[in-house]
Chains A and B, each alone.
Chain A
Amino acid sequence: MSDGAPTPPAMPALSVSGLVKRYGERTVVDSLDLDAAQGAVTAVLGPNGAGKTTTLEICEGLRNADLGSIRVLGQSPRDPTLRARVGVMLQEGGVYGSVSAVEALTHAAALYESPQGVSDLVDALGLAEVATVPSRRLSGGQRQRLGVALAIVGRPELVFLDEPTAGLDPQSRRAVWELIASLRDAGVAVVLTTHYLEEAEHLADHVVIMDHGRTLASGHPHDLVSSVASRTLRFTAESGLHLQGLEKRLPHGSTAVEVSPGTYLVTSPDLSEAMGHVSAWCIDLGINPTGISSEQRTLEDVFLDLTGDDLRP
């Protein structure tokens, strides 16, 4: 935390509970809970259609919730005073095609009392070479970075970034990561959605995994990995085993699936008991399982287990 940064208040920067959003018959967000702290990066992870963008748009005051309580910096999301205090990067840039990065940033900067310097922002996000090019001629990645710059030009207390690094080359992604880390260090609350698990793992203080509009798990990436790992074990054996027999033996609430040919995943509330049953079952069937382990190495494994879904960019 730098000197002079405001002391983070006890209340979370963003607090969402029981959020419900329906489009006609379709429930897009279903009793979602989400908290984001000051001076922390909160990453919302989920497959396409999980409801991430809708959730963010409700918090940004762009859409109304059907049910639930949302407090943004202690206010209701549509409170007009939030418009200066909250920075927003939408998935679609929102910059007129004939307007350049410098013009868009100059316009945005003039809306705030003590904005960032436009040229500083242009440099920080590596847009110097294309600063005067009409935005319609920018690459997808350059447009993304302009979106990030527009979100922070007003020195906000809370920033919503909807897929800030989608389509960025590794160097640009690094630059955006550094910027997000410096926002956190300065006491800004950052809420972002991402398709990159690596990004969530490296950058986030708090990860929320959601699918079908619900929170499936949340916590520090490290805790999340170890807590889910403690309930899951993996083993390899010949493919195509019939698992009904195994599931009958396992403690109540356990599941067994063949996640890829010859790789089996067992989830159980009591892992040590499950481990014993798996071994006994294998002996009974005369199979020799290898690599029985309760270790999961990455957030990606957790994510796949929870959503059963690949992250599709």
Chain B
Amino acid sequence: MSHIIDRRLNGKNKSAVNRERFLRRFKAQIKEAVSRAVKGRSITDIESGEKVSIPVKDISEPVFHHGQGGVREQVHPGNEEFIRGDRIARPQGGGGGGGGGKASQDGEGEDDFVFELSREEFLNVFFDDLALPNLIKTQLMGVEELKQVRAGYTNDGTPANISIVRSLRGALARRVAMAAPTLARLGEAEEDLDALLESDDESTQEVREQRKRIHLLREKLGSIPFIDPFDLRYNNRIQQPKPTSQAVMFCIMDVSGSMDEQKKDMAKRFFILLYLFLQRNYDKIEVVFIRHHTSAVEVNEEDFFHSRESGGTVVSSALNLMADIVKKRYSSSEWNIYAAQASDGDNWDSDSANCGRIMEEQLLPYCQYFAYIEITEGEPQNLWYEYLKVKERQRHFAMQKIRSASDIYPVFRELFKRQPATRA
């Protein structure tokens, strides 16, 4: 009789390990493919997975096989017109039908091996090796960051936490300790009794009394409890605060008139990347979105990425707003403060010097890292030169230029490359 088994509820991811091994082995190629792929993507589909292709020759598993040449005979079905002795020209191109070549096995088909990465895997590769620079684990935070740790044993607690081994060990010790004197006396009494019996005296009275004493001692021994509430020990767990980092990221974007749709799009893509990266790698990070033209406003995520608004440009407005917010909400002893600013570098002329000053005096002293990206195809504008001066003096200020969409990813990587030397 056949045995029928429903296996559908068994795990279906038996191949997960093999898949992961595969990704691991071709990490380099996949990384390359991902950075190639990301150039062509719009903002929205960074959220989804990605098709990745690697050259077939990289992943082939070689085996010995015959090459072209020599004599080979092959039998085929479906003869229509041939008779014995017919001579046919060789089919071109590696020999398809009649020639019986095995083009696919010869490894000459240089097609790419294409497969799909899940979103998770994609982002893993995407943000591999990136980290916020200079992150310092400064503050001990509130309740969520407590973790339970074992801390020995206590004398009281809930029954669920009774430590059986500890309790019984204690009970055993207590029994031994309490029984010891009685046992000693019992031993003595028994010896005495033996002596009396051996001496063969007619002192039955004494013998009887001795027996009585022994009996009493035995009773005393028997009344020592096996376990006593006094013996109970409970596992103790205490809440220990976990050192964590508290960080805030300021995203500052220029939405002035000189930022055309294309530039705005690039800026948004940069921030989307940044935002995904933060969300993914840091559980607790606050993000502050600031948008500015002539005046700056703090907006929510939705507005930051989607609303349209424009006007002239006063960059310092945004920096001032950020400085305000920092003062009000993120006093720097508790917070790691990061900022990224995107602009086309176009600014009210007299304002640029202003920006440099605010940056150096009010922002950089509190910031762990400030990244400036300028999105422009032409010559750098006055803001760039102003910031260059800042950069010379401040180590944790970085600036990069983005010319086209394809620069976004490399620039992003450049800015947030993991820096082993400076890690806190």
- The answer to whether A and B come from one shared complex is no
Residue ranges of B at the interface with A (Cβ–Cβ < 8 Å): none
